[in-house]
Chain A
């Protein structure tokens, strides 16, 4: 017999992940039941390279979640992440925002406001769009079913981030008052979204002892913690991860070199200290930004550039995707690969739908969300138990997980016996 060693992937707890790819498809992965490998449950859209997804933003709300997608052909679409139906689609050029076509000036960043989403009742959503040539727009986009009067009175604010250079990364803090931009030839700069004014710009680091200056090229940026908008983590094309503190200085407080490949993604952790780094050669690592120490790498045969990392807002889970067309789900504490799914195309972004049948509100929500899968509804009870035990605060996460799974399985057995009893009663 051939000697083969199959490393079993432990599987993930129930979750729902959305991915977008270069052919413009949106795929939904779900784990149903207790623990398992994610499976593609739905695919939205038809394969078309001109509809390739460039940027996405996901409002992960309890009610009325919304997904915004910027496509290569200049289309900005609002999708319902539950059913996949297009709520609104508008051409970027037709919005009257830019004089350039979508090919000349593609969208570089997209953000859908959650807190300022005043318009859910009126069906208007506020979007922050920035293009590669450094134009930023705050735009109200009405949904299809919104009244036309609402769309006419929309306001649009726009400003120039920079005259030269190319915007690559953008981020909005969790309170949605500040926006961050950076890119090729553009130093990081922070804008106040209320007044649309620039409040801070970074300075390039000093030349080194040889007098060599590396050109500015920011590829990723994020706000480090949720409460504080003053700490910024950024990744550069010259292999550096930098920490900026806007209350302290304009030069980076900390800069760490990470291997020899450009940083592609920087994603903040939940605790406000850790960041997760994705590199162009397929390395995934986590850093503690207080000390600048490498906490560890995520090993799992990642062989293509990482384009997107998503952190689950509650569970210690991390999802990554990229040019190797795999979505990988990791345990963010132990850095173990939980499962990997091959999705056939180069993927551009990955998002967690954290409200997937979780909490006590699940029944209520299942009414509001027209969840297309009936199986998931049926299994709500069991999943809730697991997630509760999963979320419960504990240090040793891996142990906790195992224990909880065991517990839940025993509970499940109990519930099954209960069900059987009920059934027998019914039949009687």
Chain B
């Protein structure tokens, strides 16, 4: 009891002293045991911090303004340190001056599709048992990927399906794996001779669950592939690219994005529209009159508006296998192993 009392009195002192001056502000709230006192102390600290921060930004803005007036170079903007830009140096990152990279690009399995010699034709199927979200997801995938055909899985083995698809001139197979009525894995098999990529699929949001979603048109979409930097990433990117036709219909204004960030590949599907600022400002006339100056500046500025039209999901590469699907005799080009995760700043794609 006694000790507890002593402690609390200490906390009190600390709180009081904190209010008085700066030099005694060494007592951390975590030391204080009384909750009330602790939160008091904490709020004081937080307030001071906020004020300091505001001061800093004000000073920075003032310096910027001054520099602008004087016609000097404004002080450099600080770049926040993120996990991406402090990534571990990697020798496998593709460089634009690499002759071997282009030579291997010219000879790899996707070259025929990417050079538009063949048109991609996709077979979509499922695991043996699927229900609820699985079919809904496949329905949306069919609307995303042009020239995709859904085939019921039945009880066929995947190797048989690969053979079947090879004979029917399909260029890829996409298998949606469902677990507990929730799609959780995606297998992409490039035909006729591999590779096979196995992705973990997570955070799936279907179209109807997206607010203000649009409905996609049947045009061939544009494709955006972001940040596939290493050789492995490059290969995966080319594999994804080979699912889509290489001649997008730009007037359809439909974009499919695969954005890689920290080895997670984010899938988004949008419609966009170009609008000029001018047209928008004509409607509220009073406003236009008020902000006449700003109007003259922004006149004719074109900007794009986006509307998401689902689905939305995240992929993570688990393995890339050489050749078509073969779990038993297959050779892997890349497998994620536990001993590779020794740093959070090491990325493979």
Q: Known contacts A23-B100, A23-B107: does B333 contact A324 (CB below 8 Å)? A: yes
Q: Which residues of B contact A316 (CB under 8 A)?
A: none
For A47, give its contact among B81, B91, B99, B330 (CB under 8 Å): B99
Query: Is A34 part of the binding interface, using a Cβ–Cβ cutoff of 8 Å?
Result: no
- Complex contact A5–B340 (CB within 8 A): no
Stretch at the interface among A10-18, A87-95, A340-348, A401-409: A340-348
Query: Is B334 part of the binding interface, using a Cβ–Cβ cutoff of 8 Å?
Result: yes
Question: What's the minimum C-beta distance from B79 to chain A, rounded to whole angstroms?
Answer: 14
Stretch at the interface among A106-114, A247-255, A296-304, A379-387: A296-304
A-B interface pairs (CB < 8 A), number: 80
Question: What's the minimum C-beta distance from A148 to chain B, rounded to whole angstroms?
Answer: 37
Query: Is A280 part of the binding interface, using a Cβ–Cβ cutoff of 8 Å?
Result: yes
Q: Type the 1/0 row for B149-192, where 1 means its CB is closer than 8 Å to any CB of A.
A: 00000000000000000000000000000000000000000000
A-facing residues in B327-347 (Cβ within 8 Å): 328-337, 339-340, 342-343, 345
Query: Is A281 part of the binding interface, using a Cβ–Cβ cutoff of 8 Å?
Result: yes
- Complex contact B100–A344 (CB within 8 A): yes
Query: Is B92 part of the binding interface, using a Cβ–Cβ cutoff of 8 Å?
Result: yes
- Complex contact B329–A345 (CB within 8 A): no
- Complex contact B100–A47 (CB within 8 A): yes
- Complex contact A281–B332 (CB within 8 A): yes
For B329, give its contact among A280, A299, A323, A325 (CB under 8 Å): A280
Residue of B nearest to A264 (CB): B331
Question: What's the minimum C-beta distance from A107 to chain B, rounded to whole angstroms?
Answer: 19
User: Complex formed: what's the CA distance from A105 to B332 in Å?
Assistant: 24
Query: Is B200 part of the binding interface, using a Cβ–Cβ cutoff of 8 Å?
Result: no
- Complex contact B332–A280 (CB within 8 A): yes
Q: Known contacts A4-B88, A342-B92: does B332 contact A305 (CB below 8 Å)? A: yes
Q: Would you list 14 pairs from A and B whose C-beta atoms are within 8 A, ordered by A residue?
A: A2-B81, A23-B100, A47-B103, A47-B104, A49-B107, A262-B329, A262-B330, A282-B335, A299-B339, A301-B337, A303-B337, A303-B340, A305-B322, A305-B332
Task: Given contacts A47-B104, A304-B332, list 10 more A-B pairs with CB under 8 A.
Answer: A2-B81, A4-B345, A5-B343, A7-B342, A23-B103, A48-B107, A238-B328, A281-B335, A323-B332, A342-B92
- Give the B-binding residues of A (Cβ under 8 A): 2, 4-5, 7, 23, 25, 47-49, 217, 237-238, 261-262, 264, 280-282, 299, 301, 303-305, 323-325, 342, 344-346
Nearest 10 pairs of A and B residues by beta carbon: A49-B107, A47-B103, A305-B331, A2-B86, A280-B331, A323-B333, A342-B91, A344-B100, A237-B329, A303-B334
